[in-house]
Amino acid sequence: MDLSDIQKTAGLRTPIRNQLFIDGKFVDALSGETLATLNPHDNSVITHVAMAGKADIDLAVAAAQRAFPKWSRLPAAERGRLLLKLADLIEANAEELARLESLDTGHPLKDSRFLDVPRTAGCYRYFGGMADKFQGETIPVEAGFLNYTLREPVGVVGQVVPWNFPLMFTSWKMAPALAAGNCIVMKPAEITPLSSLKIAELMAEAGIPPGVVNLVPGLGSVAGQYIAEHPGIAKVAFTGSTATGKRIVQASAGNLKKVQLELGGKGPNIVFEDANLQAAINGSAWAIFHNQGQACIAGSRLVLHEKIADAFLDKFVPLAQSIRLGNPMDDATEMGPLTSLQHRDRVLSYVEVARQQGGEILTGGKAPGGALSGGCYVEPTIVRAKSFKDRVAQEEVFGPFVTVLTFKDDAEAMQIANGTDYGLGSGLWTSNVHRAHSFARDIYAGMVWINCYKRVNPGSPFGGVGQSGYGREMGFDAMREYTQVKSVWVNIDAQIPPHYKR
């Protein structure tokens, strides 16, 4: 099929963008190189996307540097107005964006329509509103002096995002950076660049000036690495694996970049004996199976009190088995394919890892056959592990794969919860208020959900501790991350300094 047929089949009205976006224009890579982006439903080629090399990134950085003085001095309310306009355009193009995201990533269309796209628009709208409300402080210092702080943009920021939520994650990074007055060189993941290129098109339509945002799809080891190293980039914000995060920290040392890292997780989702069981069952299925489990905050360790474990699993296993797998473009689909074949095989390799350590596969553990056998699908998989130290209870699988562990008392639940190197999302289900808040206090994590799981909102800080990274996206914290503080002293009484009096 050629590209226009693929567009028609996917129900897209407008052309799929497949070039770099530099200085307000869509351009080929200087090398002419491209990379195929595949449809994870059947591994067919959607299009070939220009692949940025170092020379393209140099051009993108130069464009961002040229745009910075004007953009950063634009009245904050004007930057906000442009972001609000972008949010409106995203809503006006909601169906187009949802279809493109589902085609490229495998997200069920239902999720792209009701989660990814509205959350993306909501994020630009939130930070559009924030632009002229984020301010410095006046500090009560000694008499005769005024001291105030300015919150200044960092400069040109490099942003590198993964493939699991491309549309949403680009908004989490770009919206606060732009609201604060920074210019951007962003690299989407090599396998899912399409929705962010569409956003670049909408940014131009909204009136965001050329050079303010530049998109450079390309390989992580080349384009991503060069963004982390580039002396013209003042900050790098990264979402992805812990291993890559560490490489970015090393690469950024040359010019002492500000670094922000959102890395992996192994979220504990604890169900106590006093929980509302039905709510916990449904919430735990959402925690792990939404987006095929490809979420850093997935509740991938299901930690059950031993008294309720059997009753819980008696309902949870059939619920997992009933999830409708299928083509993401079908309205009825509840779970689509994983985003690449390579990743599907990695997820499936953990079934053998579980077995080798005595784990019991309660359901799933394989790719479905029939019509879905040509795609990147994995059946919802539930594994009961022997110990919280087993590999399937420690390592991030990043698929529809949940590891069940049991505990006998609160102390053991906490030991399991805090028993990994990660500290990102966590959840607990209980009707005991005291227990809920003491766990929230003691758990080593950036986010805690009580009687719910995986809630996010542009106003609520998002990020981790330990091997899950540092820095926060969303809310006022994100604005702090994308600004630096300048302290200004004024001698308001025009005093002559008392030193060295002669």
CA angle 41, 46, 52 (to 5 degrees): 125
Quick check: 197 binds ligand NAD (CB under 6 A)? Answer: no
Q: Does residue 167 belong to the site contacting ligand NAD (CB under 6 A)?
A: no
Full strand arrangement of the beta sheet holding 138-139? 138-139, 145-153, 483-491
We find the least distance from the C-beta atom of residue 196 to ligand NAD, in angstroms, to be 11
Residue 196: both structure tokens together = 């962010």
Residue given tokens 């979220």 in the structure block: 267
Q: Which of residues 383-412 bind ligand NAD (CB under 6 A)?
A: 396, 398
Binding residue for ligand NAD, selected from 153, 193, 240, 471, defined by CB under 6 A: 240
| Options 66, 119, 247, 346; binder of ligand NAD; rule CB under 6 A | 247
- Closer of 82 and 115 to ligand NAD (Cβ): 115
CB-nearer residue toward ligand NAD: 169 or 312: 169
What count of residues does the chain have? Answer: 502
Beta carbons of 10 and 19 less than 8 angstroms apart = no
* DSSP result, 359-398: -EEEE--S---GGGTTTT----EEEE-S-TTSGGGTS---
Among candidates 214, 312, 277, 291, which has minimal Cα distance to 429?
277
> 375 or 469, CB closer to ligand NAD?
469
Euclidean distance between CA atoms 462 and 40, whole angstroms: 28
Q: Does 248 bind ligand NAD (CB under 6 A)?
A: yes
Residue 46 structure tokens = 């959607």
**What are the tokens at 90?**
């995203």
Does residue 262 belong to the site contacting ligand NAD (CB under 6 A)?
Answer: yes
Q: Is 178 in the site for ligand NAD (CB under 6 A)?
A: no
- Judged by CB under 6 A, the stretch of 47-55, 122-130, 162-170, 364-372 that binds ligand NAD is 162-170
Pick 218 or 326: Cβ nearer ligand NAD: 218
Question: Dmax over Cα atoms in the chain, in whole Å?
Answer: 94
CA–CA gap between residue 385 and residue 400 (Å, rounded): 16
Q: How far is the CB of 209 from ligand NAD (least distance, A)?
A: 26
56 binds ligand NAD (CB under 6 A): no
> Residue 262 catalytic?
yes
Catalytic residue among 262, 379, 473, 481: 262
Q: Does 233 bind ligand NAD (CB under 6 A)?
A: no
Q: Closest separation between CB of residue 363 and ligand NAD, Å?
A: 24
Q: Does 115 bind ligand NAD (CB under 6 A)?
A: no
Given a contact cutoff of 8 angstroms between Cβ atoms, the answer to whether 204 and 231 are in contact is no
Measure CA 175 to chain center: 13
Q: Does 163 bind ligand NAD (CB under 6 A)?
A: yes
Distance CA 153, CA 148 (A): 16
**What one-letter code names the amino acid at 341?**
L
> By rule CB under 6 A, what count of residues binds ligand NAD?
30
Q: Which two tokens stand for residue 99?
A: 């279809």
Choice from 39, 105, 159, 244 touching ligand NAD (CB under 6 A): 244
Residue 264 interacts with ligand NAD (CB under 6 A): yes or no: yes
Binding mask 281-320 for ligand NAD (x = CB under 6 A): ---------------x------------------------
Contacts of 359 (CB under 8 A, 6+ apart): 383, 384, 385, 386, 390, 392, 403
Distance CA 248, CA 243 (A): 9
For the chain, the helix, strand and coil percentages under 3-state DSSP, each to the nearest 5: 40, 20, 40
Q: Does 190 bind ligand NAD (CB under 6 A)?
A: yes
Helices first, then strands: H and E counts in the chain: 16, 20
Residue of 4, 221, 387, 491 that binds ligand NAD (CB under 6 A): 221
Site residues for ligand NAD, 446-465, by CB under 6 A, read: 464
Residue 61 CB contacts under 8 Å (≥ 6 apart), including other chains: 156, 185, 214, 230, 232, 233
In the residue annotation, 96 being an active-site residue is answered as no
The catalytic position among 123, 183, 296, 376 is: 296
How far is residue 157's CA from residue 178's CA, in Å, rounded to a whole number?
Answer: 10
Question: Could you say whether residue 217 binds ligand NAD (CB under 6 A)?
Answer: no
194-206 vs 76-92: helix axis angle to the nearest 10? 120
Q: Which is nearer to ligand NAD, 30 or 222 (CB)?
A: 222
CB of 160 to ligand NAD, least distance (A): 5
Give me 358's structure tokens. 């005595």
- 424 in contact with ligand NAD (CB under 6 A): yes
Among residues 80, 181, 265, 458, which is the contact residue for ligand NAD, using CB under 6 A?
Answer: 265
Residues annotated as catalytic are 262, 296
Name the residues that contact ligand NAD, by CB under 6 A.
Answer: 160-164, 187, 189-190, 220-221, 224-225, 228, 239-241, 244, 247-248, 262-265, 296, 396, 398, 424, 464, 468-469
